[in-house]
Amino acid sequence: MSGPRIGVLVVDDSEAIRMLLVHLIEQDPALRVAGAVGGGGQAVAFVQADPPDVVLMDIQMDGMDGFEATRRIMESRPVPIVMCSAVTDVHAAATAFHAYDAGAVALVEKPAGGSHPDAVRLGRELLQTLRLMSEVKVVRRWSRKPQVRAPQPPPPSSRIRFVGIGASTGGPPALQAILQRLDKDFPVPIVVVQHISAGFLPGLSEWLGQTTAVRVQIAAHGIEARPGQVYLAPDDFHLTVGEHRRLRLETTPPLHGLRPAVDLLFHSIARHCGPNAVGILLTGMGKDGAQGLLAMHGSGATTLVQDKATSVVYGMPGEAVALGAASQVLPLERIGEALQRIVQPHSHSKALP
């Protein structure tokens, strides 16, 4: 490859895991190991002295854990930090998602060693994440201050019936930022396709439920979507909207190599809700969701797309903008407030801190 290799600092208190991660990283021609340390305090000191391009940080460590080390790095010498966690149970996974609150830009599952059947997949996902996140040269902690703006009119539809959201890389903290702006009595269902590694979804659901006012659950086939409830597409199932607010889980082939796919969700909302819906496409790699958002836009729905400046990866939203699928292109911190105003145009939006 041309150009310098991306420098990675590996932080893990297990020598065996450190050696595994170092070996994995050195196999990638785009990456190099800038250092390998066994604790959070050492990581903070290393970054102060010689900042790497990206940090791969364990969470559970003796002494200073990964959360505290991440907070200190982000307060003093910010660099992109990818948190690495073993998925053991729902509560452990939910705890891992608090890495985003500490300032991490991504969360990945710790790769397994030896002949574990998921070893190759997990290793590939970790390396791809390190390459992508190293490009986030300035790690953004999105402002929550109100901004002066012209009032936006509500959509011409008589009543919003569904909100659909699609996201991929960088999506979990973006979802949290939007849902935190919504009242607990938000009057319509929200259906979400978030591309995420298998096993992390229950933790994501619990974390969003803990840190926002809305109710969050993993979608089930045939249930009626309820107002104020957020439904996440389960692992390896497409999620679509049918008649009478019924949710459908489908095992039709992957689209764009993905199951669930945002496009299928958005196309179903366009068919069944027409102008009485809102579609939101957030940060993510690839093009999933862009054509579906265009279908929603063509049916009269209001379509919101995250802007380039606040997207970790501008693939999916950029594709939607290029197609002309966006009613509005907004920075992340304005999307939740805009959604509240569109759905409840005569109510006051949730106060910003």
Please state whether the peptide bond connecting residue 260 to the residue before it is cis, i.e. omega within 30 degrees of 0.
yes
For residue 129, which amino acid is it? T
Catalytic-role residue among 268, 288, 297, 311: 288
Active site residue 288: yes
Active site residue 12: no
Dist. CA 190–CA 164, nearest whole Å = 6
- Cβ distance 88 to 77 under 8 Å? no
Q: Tell me the backbone φ, ψ of residue 10, rounded to 5 degrees.
A: -100, 130
What's the Cα-to-Cα distance from 76 to each of 141, 263, 267, rounded to whole Å? Answer: 13, 41, 45
Give Cα 50 distance to the centre of its chain: 29
Q: Tell me the backbone φ, ψ of residue 192, rounded to 5 degrees.
A: -130, 135
Catalytic-role residue among 12, 28, 53, 168: 168
**Nearest CA to 330 among 147, 168, 137, 140?**
147
Active site residue 158: no
Question: How does DSSP assign 93-138, residue by residue?
Answer: HHHHTTHHHHT-SEEEEPPP-TT-TTHHHHHHHHHHHHHHHTT--S
Query: What is the DSSP code (8-state) at residue 349?
Result: P
Catalytic-role residue among 12, 53, 134, 195: 195
Active site (catalytic) residues: 168, 195, 288
